[in-house]
Amino acid sequence: MSYQSFNPATGKLVKSFPEITDGEFEGKIAEAAKCYENWRHGTYAERAVIISRAAAILAARVDDFAKPMTIEMGKRISEARGEVEFSSRILAYYAKNAQKFLAPVKLHPTIGEAHMESSPIGVIFCVEPWNFPYYQLARVAGPHLMAGNVLLVKHASCVPQCAIAFEQLLIEAGAPTGLYTNLLISHDQSDAIIDDPRIKGVALTGSVAAGRSLAARAGKNLKVSSMELGGSDAFIVLEDADLEHTIKWAVWGRMYNTGQTCCAAKRFIVVESLAAEFLARFTAALNALRPGDPMDEKTTLGPLSSESALTQLLAQVNEAVAGGAKLVLGGKRIDRPGSYMEPSILTDIKPENPAFRQEFFGPVALFFRVKDEDAAIALANASDFGLGGSVFTRDEARGKRVATRIETGMMFINNISWADAELPFGGIKDSGYGRELGDMGIQEFVNKKLIRTAHLDAPA
């Protein structure tokens, strides 16, 4: 594996980084295991000093962290700043709430007394993606470090500078050696880490294929794992929706991070009475976006993260059209340096078309007309994925009823606002299992120990 920073806005190589040697690899695992033996016995207050300081550093130096993200994966600078700020809030949230979340829980047995205790389990191996270079790291670092675990992290090979910056952030905050370790490693070394008995858990955010591979390896080693994989979220528009409000969320939901978000709006399911107007307004709004330098505040369309990401997305669109889909907007790369693609809309997608089951990780929207609410729900559930989704209606009670019937891990009514550390994040089906963030996120890699006291005679 090659760790390289390519600027997707220019296509130019910025910097390369060598993989670590097997000797360095073993040394880092040993350091993490040694660190755990001390860190696990620290108090929540002691851990919070370091995690809070890391949060404060992010908040104070937003641009210092945002700019490498824009250079490495093309995120528009305003979005990059927002990610840094949210990452800071996540760390601060767990520094403040970890002790409360993991406090002993009193039980009420018929005889005697009992309670549940939460304790860390050890060294956790985390594999994280490029599309949110700091947020993904904060999502594992905040809860699992505060719980008393330590982390070995393999970040995506195309964002090595962000990966190194986050490790340095924690070191600057006072983290002891081995608490949080960034690993520039090969796939073989990644497998070796999961097999190593010093590793007690595996967390992945990535593709379905990666999830199957790592979950199988973790399962073979009887190690707990959490998997946050892809999504093909439905954006349901009912006949009583506020269309002006809805269109704004449709554009943001599909185009935030140039569409490279697991829980982005991807399948737009609109009831027949609003379908034509929605499609016309949505098409005009997407067509108005203008590509440019993602460092420029005025740019409204950034590049895809890499040339390979662009090539794959173009191939998916071509395959969809060959399968009978109609391209009503875009579908081509933009004639300029860098990995830019036109915002695109596909319609007339039949169940036998490969596009019906695929995730489009970029600025491509799939549009469906349906007869009514029941048809919208049936189509939303006709997916291998189950990460998130949204429904737009002026009747909030109706929105809640629809949300309850959708088979996903998350649903949003008249919004797609998931950027709150209090809200658990995760899905079902091919979107994976486990949760990150909220009070659930810190529970994934802790031992839930029952302790019972009772004066009972042994059975005869």
DSSP states of 229-274 as a string? ----EEEEE-TT--HHHHHHHHHHHHHGGGG--TTSEEEEEEEHHH
Length of the chain: 460
**What's the pLDDT tens digit per position in 14-58?**
999 999 999 999 999 999 999 999 999 999 999 999 999 999 999
**One domain for residues 224 and 248:** no
DSSP 145-158: HHTT-EEEEE--TT
User: Would you state the pLDDT for residue 2?
Assistant: 83
Q: Are residues 62 and 121 in the same domain?
A: yes
Catalytic site positions: 228, 262
Does residue 425 belong to any structural domain of this protein? no
- Alpha-carbon distance of 348 to 366, in angstroms, equals 9
pLDDT tens column, 375-408: 999 999 999 999 999 999 999 999 999 999 999 9
pLDDT in tens, 234-290: 999 999 999 999 999 999 999 999 999 999 999 999 999 999 999 999 999 999 999
Do 186 and 249 reside in the same domain of the chain?
no
Residue 222 pLDDT > 80, yes or no? yes
Global pTM reads: 0.97
In-domain check, residue 446: yes
Look up residue 105 and give its amino acid.
V
Same domain, 147 and 188: yes
**Residue 74: alpha-carbon gap to chain centroid:** 17
The answer to whether residues 266 and 170 belong to one domain is no
Instruction: Evaluate whether residue 219 is within a structural domain.
Output: yes
**CATH number, position 363:** 3.40.309.10
CA distance 460 to 458: 6
177, part of any domain:
yes
For residue 336, what pLDDT is reported?
96
- The boundaries of the domain holding residue 91 are 3-229+431-451
In a domain, 277, yes or no: yes
d(CA 156, CA 226): 18
* CB-based contact 178:150 (threshold 8 Å): yes
For the chain, how many structural domains are there in total?
A: 2
Q: Are residues 379 and 296 in the same domain?
A: yes
The answer to whether 122 and 99 are in contact (CB under 8 A) is no
The tens digit of pLDDT for each residue in 52-101 reads 999 999 999 999 999 999 999 999 999 999 999 999 999 999 999 999 99
Digit-coded pLDDT (tens) for 420-447: 999 999 999 999 999 999 999 999 999 9
Nearest to 131 by CA among 355, 251, 302: 302
- The verdict on 204 and 351 lying in the same domain is no
CATH classification at residue 218: 3.40.605.10
What's the pLDDT at 1? 56
Residue 422 belongs to a domain:
no
- Tokens found for residue 101: 């979340």
In a domain, 418, yes or no: no
Are the beta carbons of 246 and 401 closer than 8 angstroms?
A: no
Q: Is residue 421 part of a domain?
A: no
| Token pair of 375 as six digits | 């048809």
Amino acid at 97: N
* Whether residue 340 sits in one domain with residue 220: no
One domain for residues 382 and 347: yes
Same domain for 26 and 149, yes or no, is: yes
CB 388, CB 263: distance < 8 Å: yes
Q: Find tokens 């690899």 and name the residue.
A: 25
pLDDT digits (tens, 9 = 90+) for 128-185: 999 999 999 999 999 999 999 999 999 999 999 999 999 999 999 999 999 999 999 9
54 with 202, same domain: the answer is yes
Looking at the DSSP bridge assignments, the partners of residue 260 are none
The SS3 call for residue 7 is: strand
Residue 294 has pLDDT above 70, yes or no: yes
* 61 and 94 housed in the same domain: yes
- Tell me: pLDDT of 7 over 80: yes
